[in-house]
Amino acid sequence: MSYETLLVEQTPASAGGQITTLTINRPDKLNALSPVVIRELSEALRALTAETRVVILKGAGEKAFVAGADIGAMQTLSVAEAKAFTDQGHALGRVIEQLHCPVIAVVQGFALGGGCELALACDFIFASERASFGQPEVNLGLMPGFGGTQRLTRRVGLGVARELVYTGRQIDAQEALRIGLVNRVVPAEELSDAVMKTAELIAQKAPLAVSACKRVMERGYDADLTTANELEATAFGALFGSEDQREGTSAFLERRKPRFVGK
């Protein structure tokens, strides 16, 4: 499929399957999230097959991952239209979180407002040392509308999230790493290689097992411990009905590399 605001690249993974890179392609607008961008991202993610083992999500150019929502498109929204817009953003976040495989956000430059929220919906975030993050909506008389008040709190804790949301303060990559907002910070020239190396490592693992891990961790995070452990136990047992489980255990006992097929 071709998109107006999105580039899609599929790279064969060394152990089978593929790594899909989605690039928001609006560098002249600092990759701002318009309704079209959100719709196309959702469509592209929903169209992915089980052959995709990892998704890499990034913005075109070096200035921004996503600098925020498209303020020009938002300025004249009515109350009803604004609610519909935020619902669209929340739906995209759910698509990312419910996807069968991990999504890695690759942040160069700005990840502000909706851009920070988009990154937070991903499984983890790799950032350039020149990246910056923030929820500056209060500077516009607004508040985060794509999950920032909720995912940021869950990522960095309530106290830190309150400070960032109430002040609208931007933080650099090192502070983002310190508070647990990002997983890794690397020099800009090494960022692509670091992300691809991690994507390849994940792609070598049993895809059904990785998918089950993502699903259980997502659903169990806010559940009570008994419920969450039951989710884990059920998913663990279900994997024993897969070819990959039999292949993985056989390969271990035979001291060879497994050949996972996602079945």
DSSP per residue over 188-207, as a string?
A: GGGHHHHHHHHHHHHHTS-H
Q: How far is CA 220 from the centre of its chain?
A: 18
pLDDT tens digit sequence for 125-175: 999 999 999 999 999 999 999 999 999 999 999 999 999 999 999 999 999
Q: Is the pLDDT of residue 69 over 90?
A: no
The full 3-state SS of 70-105, as one line of letters, equals CHHHHCCCCHHHHHHHHHHHHHHHHHHHHCCCCEEE
**Strands 132-134 and 171-172, bridge-based pairing:** antiparallel
Does residue 9 have an active-site annotation?
A: no
**Residue 50 falls in which region: left (phi positive, over 0), alpha (psi -120 to 50) or beta:** alpha
| b/e map 216-227, b = 16+ CB within 10 Å | beebbeeeeeee
Query: What angle, 0 to 180 degrees and rounded to 10, lies between the N-to-C axes of helices 225-239 and 207-220?
Result: 170
Kindly state the tokens that stand for 36. 């079209």
Q: How far is CA 55 from the centre of its chain?
A: 8
Q: Which region among 32-46, 66-80, 167-181, 213-227 has the lowest average model confidence (pLDDT)?
A: 66-80
User: Where does the pLDDT of residue 74 fall: very low under 50, low under 70, confident under 90, or very high at 90 and above?
Assistant: confident
Residue with the bigger pLDDT between 53 and 69: it is 53
Q: Is the pLDDT of residue 73 over 90?
A: no
SS3 of residue 4 by DSSP: coil
Does residue 129 have an active-site annotation?
A: no
Could you give all domains of the chain from N- to C-terminal order, each with its CATH number? 6-203 (3.90.226.10), 207-253 (1.10.12.10)
| Residue tagged active-site, from 117, 129, 189, 190 | 117
| Residue tagged active-site, from 40, 51, 137, 232 | 137
User: Where does the pLDDT of residue 2 fall: very low under 50, low under 70, confident under 90, or very high at 90 and above?
Assistant: confident
Sheet holding 110-112, edge to edge: 64-66, 110-112, 132-134, 171-172
Q: Is the pLDDT of residue 191 over 80?
A: yes
SS3 of residue 240 by DSSP: coil
